[in-house]
Amino acid sequence: MPNDIINFTPPFNIVRVSHLEWIVTDLGYSKEYYVDLVGYHLEEETKDALYLRGMEELNHHSLILRKGDVPKVSYLGLKVFSEDDLDKAFVFFQGLGQSVEWVQRHAQGRTLRTTDPFGMPLELYYEMDRGSDILQKYHLYHGARVQRIDHANMFHNDVNAATAFYVSQLGFRVTEATVLDKRDSESPYMATWIHRKGGVHDFAFTNGLGPRLHHMGVWMPSVQDIIHLCDSMASNGWRDSLERGPGRHGIANAFFLYLRDRDGHRIEPYVSDYQTVDPDHPARIWNLHDPMRQTLWGQAAPRSWFELGMEFEGLTPKPASLQAVPIIAPD
Ligand SMILES: [Fe+2]
């Protein structure tokens, strides 16, 4: 497996994945789904967008749903440590030959739009407007009570190159990885989980047609809230939206559920990973065909989970460079 050298002095400092913007086709539907059912706090509603945040988040938004004709992912939002880091990021990405542009974004300060070397659209910022503190405004809690954004998981056509870029250039660290045979030190990554913030991941890359967004992970208050979401969806006509779970991943120790909305956007209500902040924290390595990797209790994931993803705006996905078939549940 690759052993990329971690860059502890990257050219600029990313704090964490902060927010995503998705294109949705029907704001009324999306509001009912993400606010009433899933339990986001609706911070602001404009004629063409919903700005959502979790109950513990002070940032104005961690998910923007913008009206459009074709469902897509507009970009991945990254918070950096300082205004100075934005200028350093501009120079860094310009030096790579990537497009760089200062853009205006609602409720944000200076925002740098660029792409990584694989074409994934990134928007970096330092300052975002703050909403009121609603963590203990329990009378405002509803639905399954979203707490905060946790991570973005991408299909990637070249997991090894993407991991090497984010680790050796931008200071991300690998916490967990999947290989074909972990006894073979040359076995390439089939998937990686990488972080800046001290949890299991900000980004994950999984071998497949990509880059495409597989899902956004959303931290919930408790396992019970995830169970309640399943009950609520099943009893209210939304059962078809329950794609996988609930269950516990071997990877990340996460208790998970996967939902796909009518546009095809997928979220993972998620809780219960672990701290990884030590700079020498060792990665956990899994074999691709270990059934406990996907689900600790052994259940396989459905085919849709391995194949369906959401394209990024302006990016045509490429076939995966590695070929391997994971364990798939019978259709
Ligand atoms: Fe996830």
CA of 133 to the centre of ligand 1 (A): 27
Average pLDDT over residues 289-299: 87
Confidence band of 195 (pLDDT split at 50, 70, 90):
very high
CA of 217 to the centre of ligand 1 (A): 5
Q: Which helix (H) or strand (E) holds 189?
A: strand 189-195
CA of 156 to the centre of ligand 1 (A): 14
CA of 246 to the centre of ligand 1 (A): 13
Compute CA distances 151 → 106, 143, 213, 236, whole Å: 22, 21, 11, 28
CA of 244 to the centre of ligand 1 (A): 12
CA of 215 to the centre of ligand 1 (A): 7
Q: Encoding tokens for residue 21? A: 């913007």
CA of 153 to the centre of ligand 1 (A): 6
* pLDDT number for residue 108: 98
CA of 325 to the centre of ligand 1 (A): 19
CA of 48 to the centre of ligand 1 (A): 28
CA of 189 to the centre of ligand 1 (A): 17
Residue with tokens 């009518």: 262
Q: Which helix (H) or strand (E) holds 225?
A: helix 223-235
Compute CA distances 279 → 132, 197, 282, whole Å: 34, 11, 9
Q: What are 52-69's pLDDT values in tens digits?
A: 999 999 999 999 999 999
* Fold match between domain 14-128 and domain 148-311: yes
CA of 298 to the centre of ligand 1 (A): 17
* pLDDT number for residue 323: 86
CA of 178 to the centre of ligand 1 (A): 14
Say if residue 202's pLDDT is above 90. Answer: yes
Say if residue 222's pLDDT is above 70. Answer: yes
CA of 255 to the centre of ligand 1 (A): 10
Q: How far apart are CA 65 and CA 262, in angstroms?
A: 13
CA of 201 to the centre of ligand 1 (A): 9
Model pTM above 0.75: yes
CA of 176 to the centre of ligand 1 (A): 12
Say if residue 324's pLDDT is above 90. Answer: no
Task: Report the candidate in 131, 93, 128, 129 with the shortest Cα–Cα distance to residue 113.
Answer: 93
Q: How far apart are CA 201 and CA 150, in angstroms?
A: 8
* pLDDT number for residue 1: 67
CATH classification (class only), 148-311:
alpha beta
CA of 251 to the centre of ligand 1 (A): 10
Which CATH architecture group holds 14-128? Roll (3.10)
Q: How far apart are CA 95 and CA 137, in angstroms?
A: 46
CA of 67 to the centre of ligand 1 (A): 25
DSSP 134-187: -TT-GGG--TT---EEEEEEEEES-HHHHHHHHHHTT--EEEEEEES-TT-TTP
Q: How far apart are CA 96 and CA 75, in angstroms?
A: 19
CA of 28 to the centre of ligand 1 (A): 26
CA of 216 to the centre of ligand 1 (A): 7
Q: How far apart are CA 238 and CA 245, in angstroms?
A: 15
CA of 203 to the centre of ligand 1 (A): 9
CA of 87 to the centre of ligand 1 (A): 31
* DSSP bridge partners of 109: none
Q: What are 15-42's pLDDT values in tens digits?
A: 999 999 999 999 999 999 999 999 999 9
Confidence band of 4 (pLDDT split at 50, 70, 90):
confident
**Average pLDDT over the chain, rounded to whole?**
96
Check the CA dihedral 207-212-217-223 and report its sign.
Answer: negative
What are the sequence ranges of the domains in the chain?
14-128, 148-311
Compute CA distances 117 → 83, 185, 211, whole Å: 23, 26, 11
